[in-house]
């Protein structure tokens, strides 16, 4: 299966040289790709769509930058303010839903069918 997020590209984006953080970055990449696959409804050995590979890449960057501050909603000190979103994928939800629509992937919405017990079937006598 093809690599969705390149470790080397992620390290370049994060300005990381050397290999001392490779294990950590690989954990972030693997978990992010698994979560993206789940959210997109991509099952089994199906290749991850190349046109959406920017999503796990960007989320991996966010997750790395948030290390040691996980779960923090907001922080302020001497003019510096940090706020994190509740879900790292929120900014990409429209793109993920568009992909699911175009590819016929069930959005997981509940479906209801209402039956009228008083409605007469065609061709049946009253």
Whether the per-residue pLDDT at 39 is higher than 70: the answer is yes
13 burial (CB, 10 Å; 0-12 / 13-18 / 19+) is middle
pLDDT of 27: 96
Q: Please tell me what DSSP assigns to residue 92.
A: G
Q: What is the mean pLDDT of residues 54-75?
A: 80
| Residues forming a β-bridge with 27 | none
Please answer whether residues 5 and 20 qualify as being in contact, where contact means their C-beta atoms are separated by less than 8 angstroms.
no
pLDDT digits (tens, 9 = 90+) for 23-36: 999 999 999 999 99
Torsion sign across C-alpha atoms 10, 68, 18, 28: negative
Report which of 65, 62, 60, 68 is spatially closest to residue 27, judged by C-alpha positions. 60
pLDDT of 110: 56
Q: Model-level pTM greater than 0.75?
A: no
């Amino acid at each position: 299966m093809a690599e969705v997020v390149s470790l080397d590209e992620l390290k370049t984006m994060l300005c990381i040289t050397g290999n001392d953080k490779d294990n950590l970055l690989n954990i972030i990449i693997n978990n992010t790709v698994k979560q993206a696959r789940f959210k997109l409804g991509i099952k089994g050995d199906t290749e991850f769509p190349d046109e959406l590979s920017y999503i796990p890449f960007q989320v991996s960057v966010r997750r790395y930058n948030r290390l040691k501050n996980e779960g923090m909603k907001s922080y302020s000190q001497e003019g510096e303010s940090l706020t994190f979103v509740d879900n790292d994928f929120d900014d990409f939800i429209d793109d993920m839903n568009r992909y699911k629509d175009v590819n016929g992937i069930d959005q997981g919405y509940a479906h209801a069918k209402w039956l009228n017990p008083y409605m007469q079937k065609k061709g049946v006598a009253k």
